[in-house]
Structure formats: structure tokens, C-alpha cells
Amino acid sequence: MSLDLDRAAEAFAAATDWTVGLEEEFAVLDAETLDMVPRFEELRDRADDRDSTLAASIAGELISSEIEIRSGRGEDFHDAVARQRDVRRRLFEHATAHGLMLGATGTHPWADYREQEFIDTEHYRRVVDGLQYVARRNNTFSLHVHVGVRGADRAIRVCDRLRPVLPTLLALSANSPYIDGRDAGLHSARSQSFTKSFPRCGIPDAYGSWQGYREYIDFLVATRSIVEYTQVWWSIRPHFSFGTVEVRICDAQTTAQESEGLAALAVACVAQAARDEDEGVPHEDLPRRLVEENFWRAIRHGMDGDLIDLPHAVTLPAPAMAERLLEWTAPMRAELGLDPQLPALNGAQRQRRAIDAGATLQEVYGATVRETLQTYAQEVRTA
């Protein structure tokens, strides 16, 4: 988490295009009540004793009732997915053996953030001490996708090009209608709770070059705003250690197929933006305030709403904007063998329709947890 910017530039200079890393976050749940329970450290420590592959893939995320698994570096998307499927299976076996379930929606519907325990590390103590309520309030779960991009300038320009794409990716991934025991009336309560609260989060400015981004980081350091680069939480960012562009906009996905489909689309977006940059395809850096209009629409209505065709100032149904994304990425999807398979209704849409049909909060969430077990766990057998 160093802020050695010369070393970060070297990491991008040495990066390989289209390597992929996947990160998926899960709520740790009591198997009977589906309440969140603080057992991350137990799962981590027992994995250390029994399964070195799983132990190397587990990470903590602020609270002790959350667990993340990471694929590590895949040489391409397909390699990363194969790695992630293996550690998912191991994680779900591990959780089941300890009487736990795992949830994969952007928020837990009824957990009280005031009751959550924090992981006791220097990094997370710094986050909580620095952000206070903002950190304590953040009980959210997401999907992150890293894509290798060679060259620091090129990585920054890829991030710039993808700013207007982020709301469409969020709309496609929206999977959190509940928070604090209530129907939030949103499709992505996670984005409202986390992205709209954390500093240096959400839609970034366009920086134009590595030098422009470096000046921004230098400013944050000089003003003692940050001490490590992971305190910059933009929904797309250059990752200094890995030499990747990290897409961070998506809610956690209820099914493994949805997670893989969205990850494939995110990889395609990064790769297509890089190819467009290489070929000099014209690009306009739209003002953040305009992209934010679509960001709010994605939070509120997801795939059931409209998004704005920003260059032409007209609205289109969100599915039409998603089709445009698929059309734009078609060249790189074909080159990289990416075929995103996304359902007709995403997680938020399925949950909202169950809500409208009269299902209770507990029934809706229980159904998502069963879907998660069936699709992520693969070979796990339950009684």
C-alpha cells in the first residue's frame, strides 16, 4: 500500500495487458437465522491450519462478518475464473463445515451496522479512526475486477474513457434493494450507503495522464489527506501494486454466473477502452456532474429505469444502454473470447418483483442465500 509513485509507474511499465484478478465479497451468516455473525477471523485462522490454497485467497474487509476471496493474477479472464471457482468451492465447503452460510447481495437486508465488529489491523483502525460514522456505516459487499494495462499514462486514460460507462455497469449489477431492515426503494442501496458517503469515491475526475493523477495523489499526501493509496476509493482506479485498472462499481452478485458475466463485461470494457486509446478513437471527457446524473439513475431504478445518452442529451431505457455497451465491446470480446451471460432480470429486479408480490424481507433474502449456495458452492452438499 506504499505511496512510492515511481514504483507504481514501474509496475504499470512492467504490466501485461489483459491479465485479470477477481475479488468477491460475502456476508458471513448464521446458517439458521441468516444474521451476520463476526466469524471472519475464525474462518481465516482455521483455513491457515487446513487449506493453504484457501488461506492464501482469503482477505478481510473492515468488518468481521464479511469475507473476501481473490483469484490472484490470472493470465487471462478464463484463467482467473478457473482460479476463482476453485477457491469459491473451498470457501463454501469451509463455511458449511463451520455451520455458516454466505450471502452475496450488495447489502445485508436487516443487519444493524452499530453492532458490527471491526477487524483489528492497523489499516482498518486507520480507516475507522479517520472516517468514524462513514466507516462504521459501511456494511456493503461488492465485486471488483482488475485488468492488466501496460503503461501508466495509458492506464489513466483508460480510466478516463470508462467514467461514462460506470453507471451502466452499476445498473446491470444492482443487487441491493434493502438496508436497515427496510425496502430502500432503490436498486443499489450499497452505492448510496458506501459510494455516496466515502471520500474520494464514486465517479472520478478525468486526469488525462499519469502526471495529472500523480499531482492529485501528491496533493492528497502533502495535505495529509491520505497515507496509503487504498484510501482513494474511486469506482475505477489504477492499482499501484498490480499495474491494473480496477473496476469497483458493481454490487456483489447473488449467483456465480452473474458474477462471472459482469466480470467478463468489465474486462471487455477495459480492453476496448485501451484499444480505442491505442487507435486514437476520439473521446470527450464529460463533466463529472453529467456522469453523476446517470449514476443516480442507476442507484434509484437500475435496469428498470432510463439512462441518459449524455452526448445527445436524450434518455434511453437502461437495457438499450447495456446493448450499446455490448456493441461497443464486441471487437475485444471476440479477440479475448469473452461472452458475458447475464440474466433477463438482475438481482435487484428479481428481489423487487418478489417484494411487489408480497414476499417478506426474510423470504426475499433467504431465496438469495439459497441461490448463492447452489451456484457458488458447486460440489458442496448440505443436509
Give the global pTM.
0.96
278-328 tens-digit pLDDT: 999 999 999 999 999 999 999 999 999 999 999 999 999 999 999 999 999
CB-based contact 299:191 (threshold 8 Å) = yes
Give the pLDDT confidence of 57-109 residue by residue, as tens digits: 999 989 999 999 999 999 999 999 999 999 999 999 999 999 999 999 999 99
- Say if CB 175 and CB 254 are below 8 A apart: yes
Going by pLDDT thresholds of 50, 70 and 90, the confidence category of residue 382 is: very low
Express each pLDDT in 194-237 by its tens digit: 999 999 999 999 999 999 999 999 999 999 999 999 899 999 99
Instruction: For residue 180, count CB atoms less than 10 angstroms from its CB and return exposed for 0-12, middle for 13-18, buried for 19 or more.
Output: middle
Can you read off the three cell numbers belonging to residue 299? Answer: 442507484
Convert 137-154 into a string of H (helix), E (strand) and C (coil).
Answer: CCCECEEEEEEECCCHHH
Domains of the chain and any CATH numbers: 5-376 (3.30.590.20)
Tell me the C-alpha distance between 119 and 212, whole Å. 34
CA distance 223 to 217: 10
